């Protein structure tokens, strides 16, 4: 497979870039009243307006040529069929099997994985219903009132952020709390609010080897035993989700309390598995199933829609256009929905842990950019803060605006105000404000020519800042499932185009190993400091801290 920079379509795009890089979207809109209908598409419950991008019809054609030349369609079909595309770990990539609603087989190592997936879903359903109807109780016989979910990375962000996003769907009587950080302040504060006899502790770790999660679980166990729980009560209160059953049992988990997951599910793609139990406990199993169904609908769209209308492919190729041709280094996500405020952090792990790579699976080092920095926050708050840089800064930051058209709560005209800000921002980014407009405005206010000349450059908006707008009727479990799957597939398509493996994460390993070495030196002052001068000095300073 040729490297990205060797593809014919990349050369064609380079030449085309020189032709179009100075076109202004303001002019493109003025020239073509059909621009919106040409550059918008729908999938399941999502509508994408990508007309406010620095593209022409030729750009779109060339970007889709790139997707075809990179074999996106063939590789996509391979992923769904269980090909071992995570080559450095020799694993299939089958988060899509977890939400598969059809009755086809999905074969890994000669075995259909679907019966085990369905069996686990059935086990989750029974468990969730027993907790909700009070047949599963704590050691005093009291129904559970609280769940403490412990996990980090993909074993935390998905469950936490989706539970938060679907707050209006949460069941009464059961509160789900999350702890991820090894900073003891987090678990300290959460445990202080929890009743021992009615708290269920759910530990999620695919590997069952993550330091933060193991430590927090041990702390929770200590808290349980020091506050009324007895050793023989542990099985009633502690559950876990892991693909490493052996380590979980060795840790002391009751084998009946372990929900399985599989090595063909990546951590950041795992909320569809039993890792999603906190979501199901918080929202009810029917809503968890609706989330799966929504994602499945997006899977079907991704598999079957022509590339011209394929939302993940369109968003992925537009990202490549800005990163590799315009030199954009970041991408901002702006959900105009308070409940979706955590979504940028979710996509941050999904995208940056997947595509932050420097080599191909064949061993070539890359000399082109891959994944962008993903960041963002809820609209409208950012408008009064970091939007300044997006509007007038010296870097190009493509943006995704996300807006549910219907609010979860009718609060007079709040929602129209929210939507007006969302649409107004995309308009301002696109059209900008010219020096002539600024001058006319200031002259109307009676400013002198001299005063006008001084201030014009500060008041000019260059515009031509690209954005996508994603709309949905309402934020529901289904539409949220579609939205997450859309970004998963966008990241997949970009990884294919860049020729990288989006499903390993070796970049997080070195820090873990060195961190363990440092921990030993912090805890045992007799260990000689044999590192670099900076790290030695920092360790020394910690050893001398005031206690
Ligand atoms: O350190 C990175 C990582 O491995 C992520 O990929 C993963 O989601 C997270 O840690 C948690 O891992 P685990 O579920 O194995 O505890």
What is 108-288's CATH superfamily?
Answer: Glucose-6-phosphate isomerase like protein; domain 1 (3.40.50.10490)
Give the number of the atom of ligand 1 that is nearest the alpha carbon of residue 270.
8
Report CA(208)–ligand 1 centroid distance (Å): 9
CB 31 within 8 A of CB 441: no
CB 55 within 8 A of CB 318: yes
Residue with the smallest CA separation from ligand 1 atom 6 is 267
4-69+305-424+466-498: which CATH number, 3.30.200.20, 3.90.1580.10, 3.40.50.10490, 3.40.30.10? 3.40.50.10490
Report CA(312)–ligand 1 centroid distance (Å): 25
Q: What is the pLDDT of residue 312?
A: 99
Taking CB atoms within 8 Å and a gap of at least 24, the contacts of 304-311 are 305/43, 307/64, 307/67, 307/68, 307/72, 307/73, 308/60, 308/64, 309/41, 309/43, 310/41, 310/43, 311/41, 311/43, 311/46, 311/48, 311/486
Give the Cα separation of 528 and 118 in Å (integer): 53
Q: What is the pLDDT of residue 6?
A: 97
Q: What is the pLDDT of residue 497?
A: 98
User: Ligand 1 within 6 A of 244 CB?
Assistant: no
Candidate list 384, 409, 445, 544, residue with the active-site label: 384
Residue with the smallest CA separation from ligand 1 atom 13 is 205
Give the Cα separation of 459 and 394 in Å (integer): 15
Report CA(502)–ligand 1 centroid distance (Å): 15
Report CA(385)–ligand 1 centroid distance (Å): 32
| Two structure tokens written together for 179 | 């702890």
Burial of 313 (0-12, 13-18, 19+ CB in 10 A): buried
Name the phi and psi angles at 104, rounded to 5.
-75, 160
DSSP per-residue string spanning 291-341: HHHHHHHHHHHHHHS-GGG-HHHHHHHHHHIIIIIS---EEEEEESSGGGT
User: Ligand 1 within 6 A of 155 CB?
Assistant: yes
- For 37-80, how does the pLDDT look when each residue is reduced to its tens digit (9 = 90+)? 999 999 998 999 999 999 999 999 999 999 999 999 999 999 99
Is position 95 annotated as part of the catalytic site?
A: no
DSSP per-residue string spanning 38-104: HTEEEETTEEEE--SSS--HHHHHHHHHHHHHTTHHHHHHHHHHT---BGGGTB---HHHHT--S--
| 127: nearest Cα among 294, 288, 324 | 288
With a cut of 70, which residues of the chain have pLDDT below it?
Answer: none
Q: What is the pLDDT of residue 38?
A: 98
Candidate list 164, 289, 353, 378, residue with the active-site label: 353
Q: What is the pLDDT of residue 411?
A: 84
Which residue has 């009633």 as its token pair? 236
Residue with the smallest CA separation from ligand 1 atom 1 is 508
User: Ligand 1 within 6 A of 354 CB?
Assistant: no
Name the phi and psi angles at 406, rounded to 5.
-115, 135
| Two structure tokens written together for 278 | 């906190």
Is position 353 annotated as part of the catalytic site?
A: yes
Give the end-to-end CA distance of the chain in Å, rounded to a whole number: 58
User: Ligand 1 within 6 A of 154 CB?
Assistant: yes
User: Which of 158, 159, 206, 215 gets mutated to test ligand 1 (max ligand atoms within 8 A of its CB)?
Assistant: 206
Give the Cα separation of 504 and 84 in Å (integer): 12
Give the number of the atom of ligand 1 that is nearest the alpha carbon of residue 509.
1
Residue 207: CB partners within 8 Å, gap ≥ 6? Answer: 242, 243, 244, 247
Q: What is the pLDDT of residue 546?
A: 80
Report CA(497)–ligand 1 centroid distance (Å): 25
Domain 4-69+305-424+466-498 shares a fold with domain 108-288: yes
| Two structure tokens written together for 59 | 């750009």
Is position 119 annotated as part of the catalytic site?
A: no
- β-strands 46-49, 40-43: how paired? antiparallel
State the sign of the Cα–Cα–Cα–Cα dihedral 212, 214, 138, 163.
Answer: positive
Bond from prior residue into 54 cis (ω within 30 degrees of 0): no
Report CA(408)–ligand 1 centroid distance (Å): 33
- β-strands 175-179, 146-150: how paired? parallel
Q: What three-state secondary structure class fits 530?
A: coil
Candidate list 250, 454, 512, 540, residue with the active-site label: 512
User: Ligand 1 within 6 A of 153 CB?
Assistant: yes
Q: What is the pLDDT of residue 97?
A: 98
- For 373-429, how does the pLDDT look when each residue is reduced to its tens digit (9 = 90+)? 999 999 999 999 999 999 999 999 999 999 999 999 988 899 999 999 999 999 999
- β-strands 330-335, 238-242: how paired? unpaired
Domain locations in the chain as residue ranges: 4-69+305-424+466-498, 108-288, 432-465, 506-543
CB 506 within 8 A of CB 88: yes
User: Ligand 1 within 6 A of 210 CB?
Assistant: yes
- Tell me the Cα Rg of the chain: 26
User: Ligand 1 within 6 A of 122 CB?
Assistant: no
User: pTM of the full predicted structure?
Assistant: 0.97
Any idea what the Cα angle at residue 57 is, between residues 47 and 420, rounded to 5°?
Answer: 35
User: Ligand 1 within 6 A of 206 CB?
Assistant: yes
Give the number of the atom of ligand 1 that is nearest the alpha carbon of residue 154.
8
Q: What is the pLDDT of residue 410?
A: 82
């Amino acid at each position: 497979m040729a490297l990205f920079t060797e593809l014919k379509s990349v050369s064609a795009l380079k030449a085309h870039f020189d032709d179009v890089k100075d076109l202004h979207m303001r002019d493109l809109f003025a020239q073509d009243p059909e621009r919106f209908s040409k550059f918008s598409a729908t999938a399941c419950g999502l509508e994408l307006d990508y007309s406010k991008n620095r593209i022409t019809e030729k750009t779109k054609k060339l970007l889709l040529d790139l997707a075809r030349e990179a074999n996106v369609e063939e590789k996509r079909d391979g992923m769904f069929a269980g090909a071992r595309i995570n080559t450095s770990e020799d694993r299939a990539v089958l988060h899509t099997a977890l939400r598969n609603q059809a009755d086809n087989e999905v074969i890994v190592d000669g075995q259909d994985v679907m019966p085990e997936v369905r069996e686990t879903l059935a086990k989750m359903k029974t468990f969730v219903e027993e907790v909700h109807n009070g047949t599963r109780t704590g050691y005093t016989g009291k129904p559970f009132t609280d769940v403490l979910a412990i996990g980090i990375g993909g074993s935390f962000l998905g469950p936490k952020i989706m539970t938060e996003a679907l707050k209006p769907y949460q069941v009464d009587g059961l509160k789900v709390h999350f702890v991820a950080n090894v900073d003891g302040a987090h678990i300290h504060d959460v445990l202080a609010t929890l009743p021992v006899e009615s708290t269920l502790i759910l530990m999620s770790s695919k590997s069952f080897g993550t330091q933060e999660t193991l430590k927090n679980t041990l702390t929770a166990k200590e808290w349980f035993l020091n506050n009324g729980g007895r050793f023989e009560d542990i099985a009633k209160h502690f559950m876990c989700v892991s693909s490493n059953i052996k380590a979980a049992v060795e840790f002391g988990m009751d084998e009946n309390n372990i929900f399985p997951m599989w090595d063909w599910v990546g951590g950041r793609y795992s909320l569809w598995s039993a890792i999603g139990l906190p979501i199901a406990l918080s929202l009810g199993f029917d809503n968890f199933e609706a989330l799966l169904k929504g994602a499945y609908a997006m899977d079907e769209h991704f598999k079957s829609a022509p590339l011209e209308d394929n939302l993940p492919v369109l968003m992925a190729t537009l990202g490549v256009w800005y990163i590799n041709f315009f030199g954009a280094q970041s991408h901002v996500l702006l959900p105009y929905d308070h409940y979706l405020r955590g979504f940028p952090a979710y996509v941050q792990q999904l995208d940056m842990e997947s595509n932050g790579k420097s080599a191909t699976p064949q061993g070539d080092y890359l000399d082109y950019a891959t994944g962008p920095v993903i960041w963002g926050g809820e609209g409208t708050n950012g408008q009064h803060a970091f939007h300044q840089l997006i509007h007038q800064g010296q870097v190009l930051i493509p943006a995704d605006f996300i807006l549910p058209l219907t609010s979860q709560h009718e609060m007079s005209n709040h929602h129209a105000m929210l939507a007006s800000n969302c649409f107004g921002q995309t308009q301002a980014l696109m059209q900008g404000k010219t020096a002539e407009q600024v001058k006319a405005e200031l002259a109307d206010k009676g400013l002198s020519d001299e005063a006008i000349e001084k201030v014009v450059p500060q008041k000019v908006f260059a515009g031509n800042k690209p954005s996508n707008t994603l709309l949905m009727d309402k934020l529901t479990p289904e539409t949220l499932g579609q939205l997450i799957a859309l970004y998963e597939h966008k990241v997949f398509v970009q990884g294919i185009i860049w020729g990288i493996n989006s499903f390993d994460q070796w970049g997080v390993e070195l820090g873990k190993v060195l961190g363990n070495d440092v921990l030993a030196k912090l805890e045992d002052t007799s260990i000689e400091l044999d590192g670099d001068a900076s790290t030695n000095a920092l360790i020394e300073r910690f050893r001398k801290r005031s206690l």
